[in-house]
């Protein structure tokens, strides 16, 4: 799977410090040292209780096309330090020219609900390569997961109504629009207005006309009639260019003529004013005229709060068009995903940990910012009612046989809280192999299957977790051995700094 | 000027309703009718008093590459209406296949400060073409203007300090990152961490190392020393991986060895903790050790409010690294630009206005949402102190000779407030020709010149307009004839709806 927008070399889509560090590893002879990095976030967006993982398909496309072009290298050659001398030796640029990615990458499939501190992507390979991938992976996963989550929230409040994404004009650049349309569909939108997203991603597209269509005619009735004559199988009329109620009357007139010709008035659209009042009034007029099947579409800066409020007011809206607030994730326009070194193959015996890894972590005064070391996997326990808890464990250091025995999970915020899962407990391990030695071994499901997965996942979450106000915290903990290893490492690092 | 990210056909980067309307115009025989559309916004972002126009270079690239590919047309062919029949006739797709844009486009140059209701871009040409351009123009101008404005605000608070953009990992997709890096530089940043933006746009790039570099060594001192050995001409050391103060001591040790070899410790970077306290403590340690020229770089969710606060606390920070809050315009992630039909060539004599135009506007219950008709130009009056006021006038209907006589400007919110400008008053007309009959006649200045223009423009604005809290409203009004025409049209439209 590739994203056509990325046909040009995007291999330099990274922070300069990834390249200077790569140079540092290369020059100090540690470029090939095996490392493990985890990509995770620390807090759900929008004050919510869940996040939808998204962006892996584009990550795969990015990595499969990774290759530094001659132009890329010529550019790096021009970079200089504070003495005016080149930053990089020629031999390093030759090394980059021949660099083939050889990482093993695991990831949680797109459309899965995920929680803070869980590795969404785990990259294992030569530290130089892991480092170069940090920025693009964060860029792609952070944004798509953010928008898919926003769309999933909108889907929850829209219930069975149709949900359309209309955001391209207010999106953050071309790809801010393209990527948002994809993630919004995955999260639960039914269609997009973005034609290029329809073409490239196979998302259904929807749209009829704007105010300018109405304004370009002598009057609204003529504009509506012309539209219906020309596109009789796609008639949703925007009724608020001049006066909304008069607009509904004009639409009904057109609807009558459409019916005579065997077509139908599919809908009317409200884009301003009091949507609760106007939709109720419009529904009444339509029903009285016999247009009970004509849908009422509403748009105008909608988000999950406004949709909830409109529903509580009894608004008669069948189709919700959301734009700006969805594609920019307006109330929290960034997911704070991070990418942290978690283990490094040891080279000397003195610091050896079991299985040959030195475990690595970033200390912080704030407990939430201390990273977790280890070759992490996430085990999600479930029963017939749904998901029970997620346990993060170290694949190389869990209790004897993680597949068959009782495992103990420890609450990361209160180590006295423990939970045991015995061998009879059903589970799924969430991270699946995506790259092996640089070759993709994973086939992304099609976009419709990913979208369906989101809804299945959400039905497995307790309603308290899906609540918007003070959601219940879904339990995520560390497996006991990993907890103990992390605690010991924190103590050791703190001591060293004393 | 083209943007390499757009090498693929982006001609379908538009809302479906633009295509259905285009079909409607074509089918009803009005496709070639000459129209004028204005792109403008209604409110400054971030509660501020000014906005920086940006995005024109990418608009030019988009339009110059506009051409529907065979694949685009095949995709449009697959679209169906609610009866399962195709939306579009084959002859329309043939028409699109041969479509060459022939519009005249005027725009306000990038880097100009602009105000609500001023046309940033004016498109004049066959209505079908104007309509197809709406969505991409809004996408490109809205986002880049938003980010350039954010960066200009950051530049105002950073004063003469260095300002770096570090946002790629949290940006809204690839182009959300690329475009943001460009606009951030134009708005006033000195450099970016985004290497691809450096390569494509010629923006200076900056970066040294991350926490993972430090974590990959046995201890911080070894990590710092290795980095300094490898890249002695680019040494800014991140000191907060374990303990910040100890990190400063370690950096000083490395700095001493660097000096012995004729290099220097360029800087240290703080990325967590109390930046005011830590920067003051670090400055003291550095100065005491003789490293008075070593810069202190700070990052960690900075924005203009936090930078102002840190400066008030006496923080000793020389370089500000801003990321998420800048590239997503976190506190207001969308500029609400709109694109409205303002005039249409009349075809019958009965509705003729002077000069053959029917003036068009969108009514609304809210005065701020009523659009202004006319073939608009913006005249900016100035004196030695700077900009005085902007007057929007209709090029085909202004007072006899707009270049030579007294013009009267009317306050759009209070028509009794009037201001006269006589023929001696210096002015600039802001909109300049960009396309003539579909051919680009404008050469975008290079990015450094655009960036310099922003700063010159800002020096011409009264400090009250640049204030963040309750900024003074810069005066923008309508020229008297345009005001009267608009008033008459509103009255006529309201009457018709009564």
Query: Does one domain contain both B440 and B298?
Result: no
Residue A75 lies in a domain: yes
Query: Does one domain contain both B112 and B185?
Result: no
Task: State the complex-level ipTM.
Answer: 0.94
Backbone angles phi, psi at B210, to 5 degrees: -110, 180
CATH classification of the domain holding B382: 3.20.140.10
pLDDT of the residue at B461: 98
Question: Cβ of A414: how many Cβ atoms within 10 Å?
Answer: 9
Query: Does one domain contain both B487 and B397?
Result: yes
Specify which residues A280 forms β-bridges with.
none
pLDDT of the residue at B401: 53
How many helices (H) and strands (E) chain A has is answered by: 16, 21
Last residue of a domain, one of B303, B327, B351: B327
Q: Which of residues 28-67 of B touch A (CB under 8 A)?
A: 28, 30, 33, 35, 37
pLDDT of the residue at A423: 83
Query: Does one domain contain both B275 and B417?
Result: no
Secondary structure, 3-state, A133-158: HHHHHHHHHHHHHHHHHHHHHHHHHH
* Helices assigned H by DSSP within B193-303: 195-201, 211-215, 220-230, 244-260, 275-288
**CA A371 – CA A388 distance, rounded (Å):** 24
| A198/B233 CB distance under 8 A | no
Helices A304-312 and A127-158: crossing angle in degrees, nearest 10, is 10
Query: Does one domain contain both B346 and B441?
Result: yes
**CA A28 – CA B230 distance, rounded (Å):** 7
Query: Does one domain contain both B245 and B346?
Result: no
Name the pLDDT band for A498 (thresholds 50, 70, 90): low
Disruptive mutation site among A72, A81, A216 for chain B (greatest number of B CBs within 10 Å): A216
pLDDT of the residue at A405: 72
Read off the DSSP letter of residue A309: H
Mean pLDDT on A369-386: 94
Residue A487: partners with Cβ closer than 8 Å, 6 or more residues away = A415
Tell me if B56 sits within 8 A of B444, measured CB to CB. Answer: yes
Instruction: Report the chain A residue with the minimal C-alpha distance to residue B361.
Output: A215
Mean pLDDT on A18-36: 96
Query: Does one domain contain both B154 and B218?
Result: yes
Joined tokens for residue A153:
């929230």
pLDDT of the residue at A369: 83
State the nearest Cα–Cα gap between A338 and chain B, in angstroms. Answer: 9
| A175/B180 CB distance under 8 A | no
Query: Does one domain contain both B362 and B435?
Result: yes
Sign of the Cα pseudo-torsion (B128, B132, B135, B139, in order): negative
Instruction: Report the chain A residue with the minimal C-alpha distance to residue B266.
Output: A82
| A23/B231 CB distance under 8 A | yes
State the nearest Cα–Cα gap between B20 and chain A, in angstroms. Answer: 6
State the nearest Cα–Cα gap between B50 and chain A, in angstroms. Answer: 19
Residue A101 to residues A57, A125, A285, A438, B37, Cα–Cα distance (Å): 17, 9, 63, 5, 49
At B377, which helix (H) or strand (E)?
strand B376-383
Q: Which of residues 143-182 of B touch A (CB under 8 A)?
A: 143-144, 166, 168-180
Helices B56-64 and B127-158: crossing angle in degrees, nearest 10, is 150
Residue A217 lies in a domain: no
**CA A69 – CA B296 distance, rounded (Å):** 35
**CA B400 – CA B432 distance, rounded (Å):** 21
**CA B306 – CA A438 distance, rounded (Å):** 42
Closest by CA to A462, choosing from A213, A113, A189, is A113
Joined tokens for residue B455:
């700063």
Q: Which of residues 222-281 of B touch A (CB under 8 A)?
A: 226-227, 229-234, 241-243, 246, 263-264, 266, 272-273
Question: Cβ of B465: how many Cβ atoms within 10 Å?
Answer: 21
Question: Cβ of A420: how many Cβ atoms within 10 Å?
Answer: 10
Joined tokens for residue B239:
């000191």
Checking phi first, is residue B324 left (phi over 0); if not, alpha (psi -120 to 50) or beta? alpha
Q: Which of these ranges, A250-259, A262-271, B481-490, has the smallest mean pLDDT?
A: B481-490
Query: Does one domain contain both B61 and B174?
Result: no
State the nearest Cα–Cα gap between A315 and chain B, in angstroms. Answer: 20
**CA A268 – CA A255 distance, rounded (Å):** 10
Tell me if A302 sits within 8 A of A325, measured CB to CB. Answer: yes
Specify which residues A420 forms β-bridges with.
A408
**CA B361 – CA B372 distance, rounded (Å):** 6
**CA B144 – CA B201 distance, rounded (Å):** 14
Question: How does pLDDT run along chain B (498 residues), one tens digit per residue?
Answer: 234 454 567 889 999 999 999 999 999 999 999 999 999 999 999 999 999 999 999 999 999 989 999 999 999 999 999 999 999 999 999 999 999 999 999 999 999 999 999 999 999 999 999 999 999 999 999 999 999 999 999 999 999 999 999 999 999 988 889 999 999 999 999 999 999 999 989 999 999 999 999 999 999 999 999 999 999 999 999 999 989 999 999 999 999 999 999 999 999 999 999 999 999 999 999 999 999 999 999 999 999 999 999 999 999 999 999 999 999 999 999 999 999 999 999 765 555 554 588 999 888 777 778 899 999 999 999 999 999 999 999 998 765 555 567 889 998 878 888 999 988 899 999 999 999 999 999 999 999 999 999 999 999 999 999 999 999 999 999 999 999 999 999 888 888 755
| Of A24, A33, A195, Cβ closest to residue B226 | A24
Match 């009794």 to its residue by tokens.
B416
Checking phi first, is residue A60 left (phi over 0); if not, alpha (psi -120 to 50) or beta? alpha
Secondary structure, 3-state, A174-227: HHHHHHHHHHHHHHCCCEECEHHHHHHHCCCECCCCCHHHHHCCCCHHHHHHHH
Write the burial class of residue A399 (CB in 10 Å: 0-12 exposed, 13-18 middle, 19+ buried): middle
Quote the number of domains for chain B: 2
Last residue of a domain, one of B293, B327, B361: B327
In degrees, rounded to 5, the angle at the alpha carbon of residue B310 between the alpha carbons of residues B309 and B315 is 150
Name the pLDDT band for A291 (thresholds 50, 70, 90): very high
**What is the β-pairing status of strands B267-270 and B236-238?**
parallel
Q: Which residues from B are below 8 Å from A82, CB to CB? A: 233-234, 264, 266
Closest by CA to A275, choosing from A251, A306, A243, A235, is A306
| A81/B234 CB distance under 8 A | yes
Specify which residues A267 forms β-bridges with.
A236, A295
Helices B127-158 and B16-27: crossing angle in degrees, nearest 10, is 150
Helices A275-288 and A304-312: crossing angle in degrees, nearest 10, is 50
Mean pLDDT on A348-365: 70
pLDDT of the residue at B8: 62
pLDDT of the residue at B363: 81
| B175/A176 CB distance under 8 A | yes
State the nearest Cα–Cα gap between A423 and chain B, in angstroms. Answer: 37
pLDDT of the residue at A399: 59
Q: Is B224 helix (H, G, I), strand (E, B) or coil?
A: helix
Query: What is chain B's Cα-based Rg?
Result: 27
Last residue of a domain, one of B260, B293, B327: B327
**CA A347 – CA A144 distance, rounded (Å):** 38
Q: Which residues from B are below 8 Å from A490, CB to CB? A: none
Tell me which residue range forms the domain holding B320: 149-327
| A72/B199 CB distance under 8 A | yes
**CA A356 – CA A345 distance, rounded (Å):** 6
Q: Which residues from A are below 8 Å from B337, CB to CB? A: 169-170
Q: What is the pLDDT of residues A62-75, one digit of tens each?
A: 999 899 999 999 99
Sign of the Cα pseudo-torsion (A285, A291, A295, A299, in order): negative
Sign of the Cα pseudo-torsion (A291, A295, A301, A305, in order): positive
At A282, which helix (H) or strand (E)?
helix A275-288
In degrees, rounded to 5, the angle at the alpha carbon of residue B120 between the alpha carbons of residues B119 and B126 is 70
Backbone angles phi, psi at A151, to 5 degrees: -65, -35
**CA B487 – CA B340 distance, rounded (Å):** 17
**CA B391 – CA B378 distance, rounded (Å):** 6
pLDDT of the residue at B329: 96
Closest by CA to A68, choosing from B173, B227, B195, is B195
Match 């060459």 to its residue by tokens.
B100
At A418, which helix (H) or strand (E)?
strand A414-421
Question: Cβ of B456: how many Cβ atoms within 10 Å?
Answer: 11
| A209/B24 CB distance under 8 A | yes
Query: Does one domain contain both B323 and B369?
Result: no
Query: Does one domain contain both B356 and B467?
Result: yes
Query: What is chain A's Cα-based Rg?
Result: 27
> Chain A contact for B362, CB < 8 A?
yes
pLDDT greater than 80 at residue A373: yes
Query: Does one domain contain both B124 and B165?
Result: no
At A494, which helix (H) or strand (E)?
helix A480-497
Closest by CA to B138, choosing from A193, A269, A147, A268, is A193
């Amino acid at each position: 799977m590739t994203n056509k927008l990325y046909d040009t070399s995007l291999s330099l889509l990274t922070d300069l410090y990834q390249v200077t560090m790569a140079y540092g590893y290369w020059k100090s002879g540690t470029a090939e040292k095996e490392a493990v990095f985890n990509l995770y976030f620390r807090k759900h967006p929008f004050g919510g209780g869940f996040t939808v993982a998204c962006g892996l398909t584009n990550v795969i496309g990015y990595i499969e096309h990774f290759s530094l072009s001659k132009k890329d290298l010529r550019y790096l050659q021009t970079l200089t330090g504070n003495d005016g001398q080149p930053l990089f030796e020629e031999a390093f640029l030759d090394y980059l020219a021949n660099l083939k990615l050889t990482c093993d990458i695991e990831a949680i499939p797109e459309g899965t609900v995920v929680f803070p501190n869980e590795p969404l992507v785990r990259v294992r390979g030569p530290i130089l390569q892991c480092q170069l991938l940090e920025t693009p992976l964060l860029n792609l996963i952070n944004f798509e997961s953010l928008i898919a989550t926003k769309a999933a929230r909108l889907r929850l409040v829209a219930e069975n109504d149709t949900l359309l994404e209309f955001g391209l004009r207010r999106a953050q650049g071309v790809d801010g629009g393209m990527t948002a349309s994809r993630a919004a569909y995955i999260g639960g939108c039914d269609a997009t207005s973005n034609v290029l997203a329809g073409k490239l991603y196979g998302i259904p597209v929807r749209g009829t006309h704007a105010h300018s269509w109405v304004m370009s005619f002598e009057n609204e009735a003529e504009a509506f009639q012309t539209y219906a004559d020309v596109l009789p199988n796609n008639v949703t009329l925007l009724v608020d260019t001049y006066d909304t109620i008069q607009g509904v009357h004009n639409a009904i007139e057109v609807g009558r003529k459409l019916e005579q010709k065997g077509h139908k008035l599919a809908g009317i659209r409200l884009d301003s004013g009091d949507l609760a009042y106007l939709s109720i009034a419009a529904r009444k007029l339509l029903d009285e005229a016999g247009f009970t099947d004509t849908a009422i579409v509403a748009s105008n800066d909608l988000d999950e709060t406004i949709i909830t409020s409109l529903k509580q007011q009894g608004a008669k809206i069948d189709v919700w068009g959301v734009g700006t607030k969805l594609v920019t994730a307006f109330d929290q326009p960034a997911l704070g995903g991070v990418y942290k070194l978690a283990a490094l193959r040891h080279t000397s015996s003195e610091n050896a940990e079991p299985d040959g890894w030195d475990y690595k972590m970033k200390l912080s005064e704030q407990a939430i910012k201390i990273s977790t070391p280890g070759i992490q996997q996430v085990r999600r326990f479930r029963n017939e009612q749904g998901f029970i808890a997620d346990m993060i464990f170290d694949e190389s250091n869990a209790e004897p046989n993680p597949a068959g025995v009782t495992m103990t999970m420890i609450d990361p915020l209160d180590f006295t809280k423990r939970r045991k899962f015995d061998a009879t407990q059903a589970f799924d391990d969430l991270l699946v192999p995506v790259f092996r030695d640089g070759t993709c071994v994973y086939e992304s499901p099609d976009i419709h299957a990913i979208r369906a997965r989101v809804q299945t996942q959400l039905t497995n979450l307790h309603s308290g977790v899906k609540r918007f106000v003070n959601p219940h915290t879904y339990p995520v903990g560390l497996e006991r051995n990993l907890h103990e290893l992390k605690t010991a490492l924190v103590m050791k690092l703190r001591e060293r700094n004393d």
